[in-house]
Structure 1
Amino acid sequence: MPRLFKLLRLLSVFAVPFVLSGCNMVVMSPSGDIALQQRDLILIATVLMLLIIVPVMGLTIFFAWRYRHTNKAATYDPEWHHSTRLEVIIWSAPLAIIIVLGAVTWISTHKLDPYRPLDRIAEGRPVPEDVKPLTVEVVALDWKWLFLYPEYGIATVNEMAAPVDRPINFKITASSVMNSFYIPALAGQIYAMPGMETKLHAVINEPGDFEGISANYSGAGFSHMRFRFHGVDKAGFQSWLDRVKQNGTALNRDTYLKLEKPSEREPVRYYASVADGLYSSILNMCTREGTMCMNEMMHIDQMGGGGVDSEENRKRLEYDNRFDAKANKELAELGPYTPWSGLNPDIFGRCTLPSRDIPRVEARNETAPTTAELLSSRRDRI
């Protein structure tokens, strides 16, 4: 029986490579130029660190064997305490490796900045001047992904496509909790956060069907928050667009508010049309009627505040309670809201809620103290 257990253990060791052969190490076999450069950085950093780790581990084993108690031939010198040559080797080698690793990391960090527009689609292949990047607006919902294509006026859920060798400009946000947008074959992960926009510039170089995931825990449905990314040629991309338009429905605000509600294992959905300014209202957290857009609130603050209307504005900005019945009742009691017409869309974006025939909230209370008055008052108190 002991021999049988030993045989089984030995067979299990030999079975490990066969089990691992079924794993797809997509990070180490990318299909996009950005992911390829990130893989190279991983390999370079790993090799540089192994130049320290391997000798240390090897010497540890060597010293334990060489100076074992039973080896009488080994020189034993209990008085030895210093060697200049050994000190130079011990400290200079790691220092040189750290300097090289730091330089490589610093250069790569700036070169692979996700906010930096691409200057090449592959090594030795600069971006053609006549190629326009594909803009995709990404929204992380509970627990699914919404992709909007503003250039084509369509949207999809849990599926997206992009033509090969065409730069992609991702604009990423979230509707509720923080998430992480990640297509391992394409590029590194980028956080998606409510009320703000992050960016990612990438390109897919090989056609294929790739998996996208959320790389940040976001609740009960997190494990099923996956989507498919299709890398296709120009003809294939046009065919995909046609399929979305033929089989899709309209994505208006009411449809979005239903889609926004938490759900798991959401199927792929197509939308042939998208309400104007939907992404902007998602980003500024004002898709529900009666809520104030964040960009408008920032402009009001910039102009000195809303005066007596500030308390009402505060209630309109309580987004964390948007699914709460009490909060919805309070919003209903406030009545309809008219976006301030003085908002500069070139600076703060466009607020897309419909206007109402009611008095608008003034951007500044004329009695509000100026910055100079506030500073003067502070000095007087000091």
Structure 2
Amino acid sequence: MTLHVGFIGLGTIGEPMAANLLNKGFTLTICGHRNPAPVERLRAQGATVVDTPRDVAAASQMIVTCVPNAPQVDAVCLGEHGIIHGAKSGTIVIDCSTIAPTESQRIAAALREQDVLMLDAPISGGPERAGRGELAIMVGGEPDVFEQASSLLNAMGRSVTHVGPNGMGEVVKLANNTICGNLMIAISEAITLAVKAGGNADIIREVVMQSAGANFLLDAWIKDRMLKDNYDAGFATALMQKDLGAALDSARSLGVPMMMTALAYQTLRGGRGGRLRPRGLLVGQQNLPGRCQRHHRHRPATQGGVGLSGVPLPCSHGMGEGCARLHKLLPLPLAYPPIARSAASSRSFWSGVPTLIRMQSRRSGLR
């Protein structure tokens, strides 16, 4: 039987996710978007277009939402024309947005009062992987609801992991983005330092990828973006700043110090106020106002695609902070698999976290 799916949120990630579901044979209902172009493209591919999230809910058995922030998730789910007013009993909402865990839990509880079920299922992987159905998805919610939604989740993701009750998907995603946000800045600093000293960026990347500093971002993103002066990245700086802010808010409530993440947050905030383009997270070459200046005209040919002059920013990759935050809320053995398969994965993470897990086991008397 064909599954009737609703999709709300047709932005940079949402549109390819929706197109992927159409390509895989799902019956898809969407609603208007502030940008009509993705709506019309998906209509041409076979999606049914309705006016409001309430109308989407009325036509759907399961609904995927993918919007930028908690107020929008609230409006889509609980607002005057929201899902809650059109959904039938037993409808499942799969929220792929990245928001504060407490907000996700609040919205899930409000939906549950009307017998509408919710999974928080934030995603990692970028637009290209979204279009191929190869995202990493970390899912919070009841096990039986996760099981019911597994066919749809597996159509969207190559790595789908149930990490605990409602809100835990958001916990793992914020830990993932804590690592990603810090790591991207650290890569930019390191490449800048090496190139300013006369190194070749392409060779530096190749060497590091065979060393302890190897990581997904350096391998997949830097090669095709930073080293080619291509800043049309798939994730907005404002969204990463929002995610780091949510992680810091949660850390304060848990008593977890996150000094490096606070610095990364301020770096992104300062960049947004200056020359840093809002669409890309590749901050190294465009950096903060007054901190460094591009010098493409004077860049030697041996310098690869990076042409920075300026002072490196004091930042680390934040793996320890992400793990510390996770450990307060979720056992590391459960959190390790989805992050290891996401954009935050690095050689340090692959080797370091299993060591932490073994140390914890010894301390607790477990083997």
Larger Rg: 1
Shorter-chain TM band: under 0.3
TM-score, normalised via structure 2 length: 0.27
TM-score, normalised via structure 1 length: 0.26
| More helix as a share of residues | 2
